[in-house]
Structure formats: structure tokens, C-alpha cells
Amino acid sequence: MYKNDIKFSLWCDFVERSFLEGEFGDLIEKKIVNAATSNPSIFKSAFLGSPAYTEDKAKLHGKSAKEMYEALAIGDIQRAAKKLLPLYEKGDDGFISIEVDPFLCDDAEATIEEGKRLFKAIGYPNVMIKVPATEEGFIAMEALLGEGINVNATLIFSDLQTKYCLEAFARANETLVKKGTKKLPQAVISIFVSRFDRKLDEHLKKIDFVLSRVGIMNAMRAYELIQNAQLPNVRALFASTGVKGDELSPDYYIRELLLPNSINTAPLGTIKAFIGSSKECEAIELRSDWIENFFHSLAANGVDMNVVCDELMDEGLSAFKDAFVEILDELK
């Protein structure tokens, strides 16, 4: 855990073969990161841009594109899981996430089937199955957690999504308790942050509204819901915390969300900027009244957060689907 006094974890939002076999181990050993995540966009950059996969691709010749993708992805997830297993066994996170096929986002049964299959194929207990927070996704999250599989609920933008995730996980916990499960599987609710600011800042600049704060305040609001739910095996995870451009410090979204019992999953460059900074690492104070006043003011200035959240969800799903298609097209 990066900061033990407030139980704050830093996870690496990056997976690539040569990194896993080299620098990743150093980051774990130095107690900088204690878990990692992946998604279709990350795998696209790795599989299509890194020479580390050339030999494996040749060996998989003749397989379908999805079979090739899964073989490469499972191989990387197994490498990460093996390195992280000692942390998991000590109770210090040690998770690695893999996302189900994003085209299954509206099919609960298929998502459950694929999640169970991937978890079994990888064969490590410290794997988290990533499921997008759609209507069918909530059903799949509950079923997978209820089967004892760790779950990463992804593409969270709204309060409503957060509440539905919490309800699904609470029901799964009840199922597990009835089964007599002694050790509950873990779940995280991945709240996307920076995409709000990239979407809204140009408009907010025109009306002289504070910039680069919507994502932070929205994440804090979701975090508060998760904390208040007091589910012992569920934590807030802040995702999409990289910075584009030079207007903000590279580690802005880590420092502004340094909250107790939370996780920040960040790109490798963002993590390096954070640990290399001379600024003192201080926990953030969360004030409910500030959050609500902020959103009242935002609404008064014509920003409908329900519309923004829906648009970001659609854009997020489309981006993962596009990345997945690009991978499969290249592997054909």
C-alpha cells in the first residue's frame, strides 16, 4: 500500500510484456504500486505497438483473432498476477484486472460466462474481472462476485451507476454469507475522473467558471456514497487520472483525490511524476457541503450532469469497442 496511514493504494494503469518482465517488479518491490489494471485500449497499445509480442503472434497463427487476443491478454495477466500474488496473500491488494469483451456490455449472461471463463483460464486468485457499469453489467457484477470472483466495475460516471454497483455488491455479499463464505472476494468501483474536465473545461472557461474541478468533485461525491455504504469488500477506485497538456501538474488527479480507503489507478508516467515530486503527500479533506454547493452552482450555469454522464458513458464504451475492433482487425 502506498500510504498505509490512510489506506491509500496506487495501482498502475498499464500492462505490456517488457514492462511486466522488468520495471513492474521494481515498482512493486519499492512499494510504489501494489496492483495493476488493463483495458482494451491498453492492450491495443501493447499488442499493436510493442515488438515483445512478435514471437507469440507467430505461434498463434491459424487461430481466430479473438483467440489470439485472449491468448496474448491471458499471458500478460498471468505474468502480472504471479508478480503480485505475494501482495495479495499478505492482504495488500495485489490485483490485476482484465476486462470482458466490451461488445458484451448489454448481455448479462454472456458477460457472466466470459468472466467466469477468463478467471478460470488465468488461474490466479488475485484477478479482477472488469465489467462496464451498464444495466446488464450490474446483473453480471452481482453474479460474478456472488461466485467468489473479484470484480472491477468500470466506466463509472454518475451517482446512479455508483448506487447500482453498491446494490449489486451488497446482494452478492448476502449470497456469499448464506453460502458460508469466510473470505469475501474484493470489488472496486472505478470512477472516471479527467474525462469530465476534458469535455467541459472549454465551455466553463467561457463563463469564467473554475476549471479542472468537475471530475474531482464528481469523484468525491461517488466516493462518499461508497464510504457510507460500508461494504467491507468494496472500495472506490479513481480511474482516468492522467493529464493531457501542460495546464495541470502531471500528478494533479492523484494529489487532489488522496482520500482514505481509496485507490488511484494511473498511467505509468503519472505515477512517476507523483513519486518524483518534491511536494508533500497530504490527505484531502472531504466536505459534503462544498461538493453539493459546487454542483448547484454548476447546474445554475447550465451544465446538466445527467446529460454529461450519459455522453461520457457512451463515449467510453465506444472507445473500448473501437480499440477492441482494431486489435482483432490487426490480428486477423
What are phi and psi for residue 164, nearest 5 degrees?
-65, -40
3, 31, 59, 130: the catalytic one is 130
Listed in sequence order, the residues at least 6 apart from 204 whose beta carbon sits closer than 8 Å to its beta carbon are 210, 211, 214, 301, 303
Residues in the chain: 332
d(CA 299, CA 72): 45
Q: Yes or no: say if 48 and 322 are a contact pair by the CB < 8 Å rule.
A: no
What are phi and psi for residue 268, nearest 5 degrees?
-55, -45
Listed in sequence order, the residues at least 6 apart from 153 whose beta carbon sits closer than 8 Å to its beta carbon are 130, 131, 133, 137, 141, 165, 187, 188, 189, 190
Task: Tell me, yes or no, if 130 is annotated catalytic.
Answer: yes
What are phi and psi for residue 3, nearest 5 degrees?
-130, 95
Q: Yes or no: say if 227 and 261 are a contact pair by the CB < 8 Å rule.
A: yes
The Cα angle at residue 145 between residues 142 and 151, in degrees rounded to 5: 100
Antiparallel, parallel or unpaired: β 150-156 and 9-12: unpaired
Q: What is the three-class DSSP state of 89?
A: helix
Catalogue the active-site residues: 130
